[in-house]
Copies of this chain bind each other. A is one copy, B any other.
Amino acid sequence: MTLEDELRSAHEAFYRAFRERDMAALEQLWAEEAPVACLHPGLGVLQGRAAVLRSWRGILDHPKAPVLHSTNAHVSVLGTSAYVTCLAGRPGEPPRLVTTNVFTMERGRWRLVLHHCAPLAPDALKRRDARDPHEDPFRLN
C-alpha cells in the first residue's frame, strides 16, 4: 500500500464513519497527540479534541445530518503530514460541499488533525474558468 493509498483509505474511513454515525470510529480517526481543529460549513473554528468530538457527536445525533459521499479526493503528501481535498455531496446529487482534511502520522497511523468543510456554490464547477470579470471575487459585496 502506498502512502497515497493509506491516506485515501483514512479519508474514506472518515466519510464512512460519518455516514454510518459511528462515533467510535471518528474518535479513532481524530489525532490524540497532535493539535486538532474543525471548521464546519459557515461556522467558526473549533480547536482541540474535546470541542471537535463534541461537535461531531452533535452532528451524528442530529435528525437532519446529511448522508455524504466524498468525490474527487486528491491526496498531497508532505512527509509525515498530508492533506486531502475533495468534493462532498449526497448520492446522486451534484456536490454541494468542498473539504480539506489534514492528516498527520501518529504512532504509525495517519490520523486526522483538521477538517475544513465549506459550501460549494451551485454553479462553481461549471463556471470555474468562465467567471464574470466584474464579479466580486470574494462575494463580499
Contact = CB atoms under 8 A, between A and B. Distances in A.
Interface of A: 34-37, 39-45, 47, 58-59, 62-66, 68, 72, 74, 76-81, 83, 85-87, 90, 96-98, 100, 102, 104, 113-114, 116-121, 124-125, 128, 133-141
Contacts of A102: 78, 83, 100, 102
Nearest to A61: B133
Most buried by B among A83, A87, A136: A83
A134 B98 contact: no
A34 to B, nearest CB: 6
A64 B72 CA distance: 31
Contacts of A120: 42-44
A111 to B, nearest CB: 11
Contact of A45 (B44, B72, B137, B139): B72
